[in-house]
Structure 1
Amino acid sequence: MKTYSVHWKMKPPSDLSYLILYWKNDSGVIHVEQPSDRFKNRLNFMIEDLTLHIKAAQQQDSGLYSVEVTSDTGKVWRQKFQVSVFDHVEKPSLLEKKKTLDRGMCQVTLFCLVSGGGDVDVSYTWYKGTELIQTPRNLTELEVQIDADGLHIYTCNVSNPVSWANHTLELTQGCQSGHRNFILLTVLVSVVFLLMALFLITFTCWRRKRKQSQTSPEEVLTIYEDVNHVQVRRQQEQKPNSPGAGNTIYSVIQSQSGSKKRSPSPSFSKTIYEEPSFCFGNQSNG
């Protein structure tokens, strides 16, 4: 039996089937049909075994391929092939979102993201440490509640039929980082207010003392003294007064402000009264 003709067709996942290559034995000419220039001269047909080669296969080349071979007797032979082209899956990015709960618990939402076009037909698997987490479906995010002070290790594994990759994240502080920052800020604000209060109290006391020192009057000391005996020389130098008359002497002593000794109270004063008594009489000679 001799081959008369060969037809290769291709049906993309979301499109109708169309002819991509036709060969007829009597002419030996290969006709390549390329709607929208999909394959861009990447097709290679082998006459010896009627196979079709796709060079530099891409993800868009996935689809249902069929070949139809007609013999010179008119017999037709058909065969279909499901072709899937996968990109190498990249290492995912693992992000976290935290929320503080009561009683030292923390709610964490983990997001597993695959960059580029490698997220087609990708399966997601989650692990806590080495333990597989059972999820109801293929989840790209995981929500868990953990102890805020514990150490927790989570891994997201992504895979397709030809490759796999994973990313591990260690949750060392849970939600405590935000809580500790809040406590630190509260303590810092309290210390600042305390220092300001101490400064105001110290400044007020200093101003009050300074005002008192500036407005205090000069210290005046007045000494009171009664003098009953006067030296004879002083009696002779002074003029005689009338009998029974008394003289009062007022002495005012002003203290020096620059003295290093302890100053008496501002209101303390002394007045000196000197009241000498003079006696006049006849003095006998000899």
Structure 2
Amino acid sequence: MALRWMLVFVLLLDSTVSCSENTLFVQTGGSVTLYIQTHELPEFDELVWKNEKSENIFKYISATKTARLHPFYTNRTDFNNETFSLTLKNMQKTDSGVYTASTSGDLTKDVAKHRVSVMDPVEAPVLSENICSFTCKGHNFTISSTYNNSCFQEEVRSSGNYTLSLYCSGDFIICNHSNPVSWRNDTKEVNESCIVNKDTSTGPQSEYISWLIPLIVVLALIVAVVVFYSYRNKKGI
């Protein structure tokens, strides 16, 4: 008897456990698919997908394999009656929020919970140059850095999931603006003067080394010849 009541308690406890929230990002006007988040879906009479306002978006009735759809979502949904996933189309920023799915029958069980964030695509960033200094602007952010013949990377992120980064790749400077649904960049080639200035600063040292090595070789040959003839004269050869 005790074992039976313990089993009932475990089943009731399991039915009240909420699924972990999963965040999904979708571009404005795009589509997003909401999946069931349990490995084994229990037998059920009805499966219901709800939106942030707890409105029934989609109700699937297992016995008749029929469905009822909220009028607001007409022509905006696709339901998979094998995986029980729900695809929402033409998403707008007002559609952002938490979406849940639950089954009902002998027990009520939460089987999915997704936080959907609908975002506009990012605007193109602007990359400007002043001699060898570069400035990257986008989403009210500004990053500046100076090219000194070696690659660099600067980055700033906002709490709204926007990222602005300024970095170099070879002889190109790249200003990149992105969010979880899109990215755009502006690119400029490094001015030759930035590289020449760097090379000029090391020029004298390179020229010094270039004539020093042959001089050492010549002196070594002279010393070798002198030593050879001195040794030859001593031997009377």
TM over 0.5: no
TM tier, shorter chain?
Answer: 0.3 to 0.5
Normalising by structure 2, what TM-score? 0.42
Q: Which has the higher contact order (CA 8 A, sep 6+)?
A: 2
